Structure 1
Amino acid sequence: MTSPSPAPTSTPTARGSRRAAGRVGGVVTYAVLALVALTTIFPVLWMLYSSIKPTQDILRDVFAPPTTLYFGNFDAVLQDMLIWVKNSVLVTGISLAIILVVSALAAYAFSQLRFRGRELLFVFMLVGLMVPAHALVVAGFKWISVLGIGGILALILTYGGWSSFGILVMRSFFDAVPKEIIEAARMDGASHWKILTRVLLPLARPGIATVTIFTFLWVWNDFVYPLVYLQRTEDLTVPIGILSFQSRQGVQWGPQMATLAIATIIPLVAYLIARRQFVRGIMQGAVKG
């Protein structure tokens, strides 16, 4: 009998070729990622340095960096911007509080309580995620007209109904809590309210951060509902205020860039504050999925 031949081993030349191919692949990958990052970051950088350029300089050379620092654009919009930011913060803050409260209470009911038609009601609630919010703007405007409300209050009541996403996320986190923890709390005499506030909500902080970030961005950046609902100049929010720099004579690019730069700061700060919980919530949601 002949002994089996030894397995062929790779030669130094082959190993070197593979390492060279790996380095080339790595360089190409990083180059592509750098290009994607540049295309993502450049519009923001262009907005920031355009905000410190006079309008005539922007029109003369759109992409050229500023030669001198010009803060007249911020002086021109600061007074109006404070009003718009105040209105946006008021609408977003109250709407977000309503959504978080409704989402937590409804998610607790769907997760921990047993009642007839629970799953059917939950599926019916999820229909709200399938219907685009802006498809209901006409019906919403008719309802607020019938009820005789308008302005900021109409926006808050409308946004407060955008709770389907929050209920879905919060229920998934509540369902992930081990049943033994909840049963131990019940054996200690904890009520439903104490189980929600002292057991489930502290464990669902990543989910709360996820709902907060997404809802904040949706409400803060919404354009259609404020455009339809707001009639008075003093009630304008930031997206509608930015529109005021466009007229028949053209666009005031300098003040508009300054307004956009200021409007970008608040969502960015909100994300930086909650980014760790937000990323944790996304990761945990991916694992559960």
Structure 2
Amino acid sequence: MAVSGLLMLLVLGSLWTGCSCLPDRCRIQRRSYFGTLSLWVDCDHLNLATLPDGIPSNTERFCAEYNNIRNVSYMPSLPGLLWLDLGTNAIESFAWTSLRNLPNLRFLYLNINRLRYVQLGNVIEHLPKLKHVDLSYNKITSISRYELGRPQVKKAYIMDNPFHCDCYLFWLIEKMACLTACKGEDEKACCLSCSACFLAGILKYKAFRMTCHSPNGLKNLPLSDVFSHLTGCWPHQPTTEAHDYSPNILLSAMAGTLSSLTLMILCHHLYERKCYGYVHVH
């Protein structure tokens, strides 16, 4: 009996040491959220280097701000999680596809990190409730609407990123130019006319900047002022959102195409097809 009892203690001891548990200083609380009690797990300010193990599966809000997390290689299955806050860390890589393990996620905070790219588009179909994303203060140089999770994501904060202002970012430059031009008008009507309500909140915060970091010729210019510098971008701009360009841009593109066709016809008749080298189709 003594031997079997000792063996049992050894087995239990090995199981205990191998247990994946939350750090002792993580706080687990029941709080009211929209009128119902929900489980909040708070692991802020713990100098964590990785996402902790042992997050309760019924957690609805998880926060691990102000740590030293650099790599999020996997998100555990948390079917009831509504709120994920990993802001103010040092995250350089994030397993975007593993967000499918959070099917009820509504709010995602990854602000103040070192992310260089976003891939929400690859997983957004598994996140039907995700509406609010904060990616401000990262190292993102370019982003498309698809990568941002549009049109499902309704609020996106992407301020203070080192944007490279070229045709790939033209969709965002156009939105900011439209919103800035509407400034002073009714905010709701303005953002609707620009198809940019998901960005409208940015204009409320004067301290937050949306400027170009590169190329050198556009450095430090507000995105809203770059619109006129990027000519000929529209025909090459990929989009996943139908009817998302302003009427002025569409008319400009159509006018440019008609002008080019007219010039080609004139060349054909006047120079017997010898001046095609002068034709530039925009």
TM-score range, shorter chain: under 0.3
Higher percent of residues as helix: 1
Larger radius of gyration: 1
Higher percent of residues as strand: 2
| Higher RCO by CA contacts (8 Å cutoff, separation 6 or greater) | 1
Q: Please report the TM-score for the alignment, with normalisation by the length of structure 2.
A: 0.22
